[in-house]
Amino acid sequence: MNSLKLRLGVITFVSFLYIYSIPTYGQANRQMIAHQHFSKKNYQKVIDTLNPYLESLSKSELMVLGKSYSFLKNHQSAIKIYQSLVAQNQKDYEAFTLLGGEFLTLGKSSEALTHLKEALSINPKYSLAYRLLIQHYEKTNNKYELRLIYEDIISHLGEQPKAILKLCELCASDRLYDQAFKYCQKSISLVPNQPESYIFLGHSYRDTGNLEKATATYKKAAEIFSKSDLAQLSYAKFLEEQKNHLQAYAFYKKAALNNPQSIEAQLGQATTGLELQKFDEALNGFVKICRKDKSAISGFRRAVSSLRIQKSNSEVQKWINKYENSLANCENF
């Protein structure tokens, strides 16, 4: 009997050690194991590792668990994890931000904006919250809010070159020209090797009637950024608007050589070539473009209409017939 009790006592003691030592060992290692699975994108294994210990997980573990649910598109479970973090700490700007991201994914923009703005009220230097807000406002084309966000970034994070450039673009497109001049010039001084700053500055000068400065700005961009489609095309289009077809043709041609896939450059070259009475070259250009992109047919039609207006001699009439026949073939191609 005593021998039996002893054996039962040993078994009970061993069972006790087994039951209580394994979780303790697991708690010491599960975070490392979970992070290893996460780094290897084994998100279900992260969940399987952490979910049994849900009530005792650390913030780091809850974060990786929530992100794993999110990557597996189980957004409701991710939201519950992040909500538990916020409940534990009302100043957890990371959790507020991740909550906002989940709500954005689910199309719940009101809840998303509330959480993202709360995150920034706690930590106005948290860049992820800004990025998520920018993604949302770009998707909804809310330029006003985008301007405010980029101004906040500059206010709290300093003169970030990307933020300055975006304000240059937004202010130019929204006709806030005083601010456009300010931000575009600042952008050029901060990052002089990007053509966009010059182009938006040129647009602002053009739109405010300062054609001399517009010409100088576009020309400088085209000279500095000789391999940039944007710089060459912007100057070419401006020259074409000013009826300077000879120079416009030259810059459209450069843009087309830089990027043989650019329909806009080829169409510009053909259109200005026609104005210079390069009838054969222009016709070949229109036909080539039309076969690549049917949307270019409207430009071809305008070219034919332009020729009909010119109808002044037999030479032009001959080309009108060729253009009309080629246009008809193109429309039926």
Residue 315 falls inside a structural domain: yes
Residue 170 falls inside a structural domain: no
Claim: this prediction has a pTM higher than 0.85: no
Residue 214 falls inside a structural domain: no
Residue 270 falls inside a structural domain: yes
pLDDT, one tens digit for every residue, the chain (333 residues): 444 343 434 334 334 333 333 344 356 588 899 999 999 999 999 999 999 999 899 999 999 999 999 999 999 999 999 999 999 999 999 999 999 999 999 999 999 999 999 999 999 999 999 999 999 999 999 999 999 999 999 999 999 999 999 999 999 999 999 999 999 999 999 999 999 999 999 999 999 999 999 999 999 999 999 999 999 999 999 999 999 999 999 999 999 999 999 999 999 999 999 999 899 999 999 988 888 887 778 888 888 888 888 766 777 788 888 888 888 888 776
Residue 328 falls inside a structural domain: yes
Please give the tally of structural domains in the chain.
1
Residue 238 falls inside a structural domain: no
* Domain containing residue 288: 257-333
Contact between 219 and 235 under an 8 Å Cβ cutoff? The reply is yes
| CATH number of 279's domain | 1.25.40
Residue 15 falls inside a structural domain: no
Residue 226 falls inside a structural domain: no
